[in-house]
Structures are given as C-alpha cells and as structure tokens.
Amino acid sequence: MNFQLEGPVLEGELVRLEPLEHRHAADLAVAAEQDRDSYAFTWVPSATEVDDYIAQQHARAAAGRLAPYAQIQLSTGRAVGATSYWDPRVLDSGRFFAIEIGFTWLAGSAQGTGINTEAKYLLMRHAFEVFDVSRVDLKTDARNARSRAAIAGVGARFEGVLRNWNRSWAPGEQDKLRDAAIFSITDAEWPECRQMLERKLEARRKVLAEGLKS
C-alpha cells in the first residue's frame, strides 16, 4: 500500500518545529557554521550546501519516507537546526507501528539550551499519542559519545550496535560505513518517559524564569 508520512507543526515553549522549507535556508546557513567541531559524526550542511540539503530532504519526503523539520528557537524566531521523522514502518494491514527520529542537528549556540529535549518531547508525544505507534527509534554513529548521551538523556534505551549499518557522515569517510548505536522507546515506556521529560522541561523553565528575575 502507499503510505505518505506527514509531520504537522509542533510547538512548545522553547522551540517550534515547522516543516522544512527553502524559506528557512538563510537562518540554517548561519546556524550550520556555528562550532562545526560538534558535528563530527552528523550530516550538517555547510552554509553553501543548505539549499541542496533542503532539496534532498524534500526528495526523501516525496518518497513518503521522511517528514523534515526546521527547529525554530522561539526566543529569537530563527531556525537553529533541523530534525525529522524518518523510516515509518507499516504492517500489511495498514497499521503504522514504528517511526525513527533522525537527521537532527542544532547550532552550537542552541545546544544545551533545552531545545533538543523539548523537540524530542514534542516529536515523541505526537508519535505515541497521535500516530499511535508502538515504538520510536533513535540512532547515531556508535563513536558519537555526545549524541549517545543526549539520546539516553531523553529516556531512550540502548539496544545495541548495528555493525556496518549505513554510510558514515564523518568528514573524510564519504565512502565508508559506520556502526550505528540504536536506542528506542516503546509505547509501554512512554508514560514514564513523558513524565521524566516534563520534569526536565519544568526545571529548565524555572531556571529561565530565575534568570529573567536576576
């Protein structure tokens, strides 16, 4: 059967996830050039590659396999990164049962601000409570300790390493394969995970509120 993955606008208090469009290119070109050392294992376009990057993501979306987003920092109104729903799995019966969150990156200035946590929360909440999936996957290069820690930090469980799983995004490794560390959250785990993420976001709001008072 034909299946078309579609991702709606998702908005929190720190970030709004908007379907990725060429109108986001100028902001993303600026964001992509911030502290590129943090992108060692992640596909992040250079400023001159952003338009082509968006076109490639649109091609994947047209095939029904991807719903790409721009991450909009609400405090500035600017796009500071990207993320996506990716690789939907659908049974022969038509049941949409699993999805991956991937193609994620943030500008250096947006890292550690709570945007990643809230974006994952919004994507997972929609996946479990609207798409009604049974599982959400997250993968990263097995060597990427920073990304693995961030994924574990949003409540996903490490399942193992898939050897030679897909192409490497590390600079200089265009023709090589990477080992992928895979994490997941199931529908049974989601209620506890949701509460944990909401506690984290509430703590972040309190810090921000205290900062505004001082």
Q: What does residue 82 show for φ and ψ, rounded to 5 degrees?
A: -145, 160
Q: Where would I find the beta strands (DSSP E) of 135-202?
A: 135-141, 157-167, 177-186
Q: What percent of the chain lies above the pLDDT cut of 70? A: 98
pLDDT of residue 192: 97
- When pLDDT is averaged across residues 176-194 and rounded to a whole number, the result is 97
Query: For residue 143, is pLDDT > 80?
Result: yes
pLDDT of residue 207: 83
Q: What is the CATH number of domain 10-213?
A: 3.40.630.30
Q: Identify which has the larger pLDDT, 4 or 106.
A: 106
Query: For residue 81, is pLDDT > 70?
Result: yes
pLDDT of residue 149: 94
| Domain definitions of the chain by residue range | 10-213
DSSP 8-state secondary structure symbol assigned to residue 53: H
pLDDT of residue 33: 93
pLDDT of residue 1: 46
pLDDT of residue 169: 82
Q: Identify the three-state secondary structure at position 119.
A: helix
Q: Identify which has the larger pLDDT, 208 or 146.
A: 146
Taking the alpha carbons at both ends of the chain, their separation in whole angstroms is 57
- When pLDDT is averaged across residues 31-38 and rounded to a whole number, the result is 88
pLDDT of residue 4: 78
pTM for the whole thing?
0.93
Whether the CA torsion 145, 157, 20, 18 is positive or negative: it is negative
